[in-house]
A and B are shown apart, each in its own frame.
Chain A
Amino acid sequence: MLDVQGVHKSFGPLEVLRGVSLQVTKGEVLVLIGPSGSGKSTLLRCINHLEKIDAGHIYIDGQLLGYREVNGRLIEEPEARVARVRASIGIVFQRFNLFPHLTALGNVIEAPIHVRGLPRQRAIEEGIRVLEKVGLGEKLNVYPSQLSGGQQQRVAIARALAMQPKLMLFDEPTSALDPELVGEVLEVMRELAGEGMTMVVVSHEMGFAREVADRMALMDGGQILEEGPPLQFFEAAQHERTRTFLSKIL
């Protein structure tokens, strides 16, 4: 479903991704870990085409993402096409990025109405359904600033789900939260994984990884160092780097 091949990305002289390859099959949950600055967030942003890539290929369902290949060269697609592909990939940001001028329900129905073209009434019905799903059926008409961090992040998840994405990306979804609010967000993600959502999660919540991940990957210095099922990661990591990193965060 997601196929990342040899992706390179630099910001000026700084090469953040140095040939990243990664596959995620349908229904799989991949947890991506690694020290800060290792390129995890950048990789997610590239998958969603919020950043352009310098080299490599990213395929979603066999379709090249955001580019056309002409004689071996990548040409960026027109904006409207990029937007359409992007709409099928949900992303949840570390800092929520909710729209502060809209209510919880407003946040959730905005894109279904204006991007998917749903009639308002249908969008509202679906919006209520996804907000109930994340446990916020009571907070439909509340503005983000009146919600706790955990509630805001759950609205953000609902907002992404309302677009009925094929793939959900989570960029450190709990690291901006107070410790006691982490659980409610992880719970929603756990349920989502249980329903068979394909997910790429950047997170250092190792309890979550151990329980939910089908596969884990360690990124360091812009490359994927090690990849494998959680059990192998925690019990028999092959790289020294993986072992030292895990020992630091566990």
Chain B
Amino acid sequence: MDVFLAIRFDGGAVTEFLFNSVILRGVRNTLEVTILAMLLGTVLGIALAVMRVSHSRPLAGVSAFYVWFIRGTPVLIQLLVVYNGLPQMVGSDAFTHFLTPFRSALITFSLNEAAYMAEIVRAGIQAIEPGQMDAAKSLGMTNLQAMRRVILPQALRVVIPPSGNEVIAMLKNTSVAFVIAFVELTTAARLIYAVNFKVMELLVVASIWYLIMTTAFSVLQAELEARLTIVERERAIPLTTRVLRTLGGGRER
């Protein structure tokens, strides 16, 4: 009993700080970087994947090198390279001012996401049976047309579950942006407990927000998957089932 009595946890502080303006700004920054980096990273990732499976050796090589490099180095270092390393190298004030913490984080996470998406999309493309390419070409489509109109629309459906996981991973990874003083959610919590010493309370606040955001993304992912399923299966699967399935990380097929 003594142990429990000795626990100091200020539940009131959690509710008090849940909607604190610094915390809310952290939530917004985290969301902004995650969503924008997801969009930019996906576009770049698809381009990299198409390059990788193309018949052109140089294009495939560039893509492979990019993925190897980005996946093989820590995000933390990449952040520091963009925020601290590049300005030192370029040595121009305008450039240094341009690279705000937000932009540095956005650039780094986009480049990062692109590498992972490239691998996911490549796997998706390669999962499409070769007969599809034959059929598209036999109808007079060029390689690029076939890719855009026939292969990618099918591949992107296969790609949604793993890329949803990827986005959730990135959302949490944005917390390392504290090294470049970017006020995302974790940094916001740290800033506050550095002053009031309510460490546990603020970590709980941050966790609650992370859970809310990851859950929202899971629901979105489940919805997207259901919408894009090629043909209605026997019966529509209820939303709750789909969400639980996605949250559990399980995948059918």
Contacts and interface: CB of A to CB of B under 8 A. Distances in A.
Contact of B230 (A45, A84, A89, A101): A101
Interface string B144-155: 010001100110
Interface residues of A, number: 32
Given A101-B157, A110-B149, A114-B149, A79 B134 contact: no
Contacts of A93: 131, 134-135
A117 to B, nearest CB: 11
Among A93, A98, A114: residue with most chain B CB under 10 A: A114
A97 B137 contact: no
B67 to A, nearest CB: 26
A87 B150 CA distance: 16
B132 interface: yes
Given A90-B138, A100-B154, A111-B141, 18 more contacts: A50-B137, A80-B142, A84-B140, A86-B140, A91-B138, A93-B131, A97-B131, A99-B136, A100-B230, A100-B231, A111-B139, A111-B140, A115-B139, A115-B140, A146-B231, A156-B135, A160-B138, A163-B139
15 contacts: A50-B134, A79-B142, A83-B137, A83-B140, A83-B141, A87-B140, A93-B134, A97-B131, A97-B134, A99-B154, A110-B150, A111-B140, A115-B139, A116-B140, A160-B138
B140 A163 contact: yes
A194 B57 CA distance: 48
Contact of A97 (B132, B140, B141, B145): B132
Given A83-B137, A99-B132, A145 B231 contact: yes
Among B139, B145, B157: residue with most chain A CB under 10 A: B139
B153 A101 contact: yes
Contacts of B135: 93, 97-99, 156
A99 B154 CA distance: 9
Contacts of B141: 83, 111, 114-115
B139 A143 contact: no
B207 interface: no
Contacts of A116: 140
A107 B135 CA distance: 11
Given A114-B141, A115-B139, A145-B231, A99 B134 contact: no
Contacts of B153: 101
A192 B6 CA distance: 89
B143 interface: yes
Interface string A126-151: 00000000000000000101100000
Contacts of B137: 50, 83, 86
B231 A143 contact: yes
A159 interface: yes
Contacts of B136: 99
Interface string B228-252: 0011000000000000000000000
Contacts of A95: 131
A83 B142 contact: yes
Contacts of A111: 139-141
A97 B145 CA distance: 17
Contacts of A88: 140
A233 B87 CA distance: 81
A79 B231 CA distance: 33
A48 interface: yes
A50 B138 contact: yes
Interface in A69-95: 79-80, 83-84, 86-91, 93, 95
B235 to A, nearest CB: 15
A79 B140 CA distance: 10
B113 to A, nearest CB: 25
Contacts of A115: 139-141, 145
B131 A114 contact: no
Contact of B139 (A100, A101, A145, A159): A159
Contacts of A98: 135
Nearest to B139: A111
Contact of B154 (A50, A80, A101): A101
Contacts of B154: 99-101
Nearest to A159: B139
Contacts of B230: 100-101, 143, 145
A160 B137 CA distance: 11
Interface in A197-219: none
